[in-house]
Structure 1
């Protein structure tokens, strides 16, 4: 591992020289590509340099203990050695994590699809709670949320809502949210105080470029029709809505939120490409998860992953047996503690399989 780290440090230094070259700076496309490489390598090289410095400090402290007869000096060296050896353990663990193969999708924007599941109106309301939760989480990280399509119930819920989150690292933070989310609470309409259980399904798809998905246009039927519901006169009186049907998979995407047929078509194809990419991603994730018996990132979109229990004020993630008694904060976007734990578990699984 350390031989490879030395090579990466040399590459990092070379890249830093190249991005300062006026000729390369004048070619913005090349410069941006090189700057991304610099950005990707910086945390690894920084941690490797910290490792080398700590190693030198340990050797210096050991030398003092071997050669010095000054008791006060030796005592200081013992303390230094103890601290630096503890630091070294942490640094080596962090280096192993940094050296894990990077998920190529981690830096991408995401398309999130939430569907109300079992539970009727309560499920639709819960889908609305989840939409708000992810929107607030994104807002706290200064990511942009763009609504792509929605099917509202009229009581504040959603049968389905699809939205995009634009922000660096969005997929890396949200990729473990895919699955079935369950809510247990007493509905406002329940006079006897009986707890109801409802579900909503979340799918988190990385945004993909056209070149990343092979899409045969002969496989896609495009239908246009008049929009229904809110949206103003022009939406309801022109054939602005678009429906795509992908014959090989049976995927159907309907889009009518925009006044422009062209914009609706563009958004629909964006979602279709993401769904087709996700099918292949799910296959590869399942294969990898079986190999390393992963607790998270199994690729199973039908897996029940989390329960939100309102009477007890708790949220429990079943994949990592983690329960937080701060449900209100969690659904208001305070999700980092659980997301960090999921990422750590995934990294531990990967390290054990190396």
Structure 2
């Protein structure tokens, strides 16, 4: 009997050992092989990127010329488009009436002054007679009153003369500052009205500015940029796609927010010594983003998106893939700035992560390629 039991146990033990070995082999066979991936080492770089604002170039100093006295244009002293200096005569309005008014006012001043001299002498003479008791007090009082009236007449005549002189000076329209004059809106002999007839426009070529409209949420940012000394804060791209080679600075921020658009106008000034910028041109103002600086920059192709969130895979110990959530910054060509989530020195998977899961096994380096001769077969 004992021999029979021994013979039965031996086959069973062999079967159990064989069965265990078979399960281990199946489990090993069922485990997926490591995924081949390519990696790069995360590094920091100088991330300079800009926000774009559509704007219009304007002259910082610009004025419309309108007459302050009515009349007919009798002389035009400049050609359209000329450069003019401050105080240079530009247009003349018929001066004859204003000259006559001035001459009459000057004559009235002379007459009033003569009356004042006479009144002054009368009062001096009467005062001497009064001391000798040779004239009545009332006569002296009348002379004093006449003297004061004569002084008032002189003052009134001088005021009239000053007004006439002003009108006479307004009959010649002069450049208020140096700049370039535009195309004349009136011809020789044309009649102009006070303050309503546009005669021409003058604008200074240097400096120039660009007006842009920003969202009210960016107001604080632009107030801080007013004190910025960074040369690369503002860049200007012209309509011909060229970049203007001068640096800008904030000249003014409008006093309040437009209630309808929730926006604010900002004016950025640029030097324009060569006259490249012209009043009325369109341009794009590039403003340095406040997140610019030394940042982690990775290839954009390494980013995956899941439910509106962004992730990358890094490699741990060269064998395991770890999924990490990242916060994206601006995109710079084929790269993207990472604000948070990974750091310099991490080993980033750039290829082969499409079927990876967190903590999945990986092998660095793409799959080995078969020799060209073998591929040909």
Give the TM-score of the pair, scaled to structure 1: 0.25
CA radius of gyration, larger in:
2
Structure richer in helix, relative to its length: 1
The structure with higher relative contact order (CA 8 Å, sep 6+) is 2
Structure richer in strand, relative to its length: 2
Give the TM-score of the pair, scaled to structure 2: 0.24
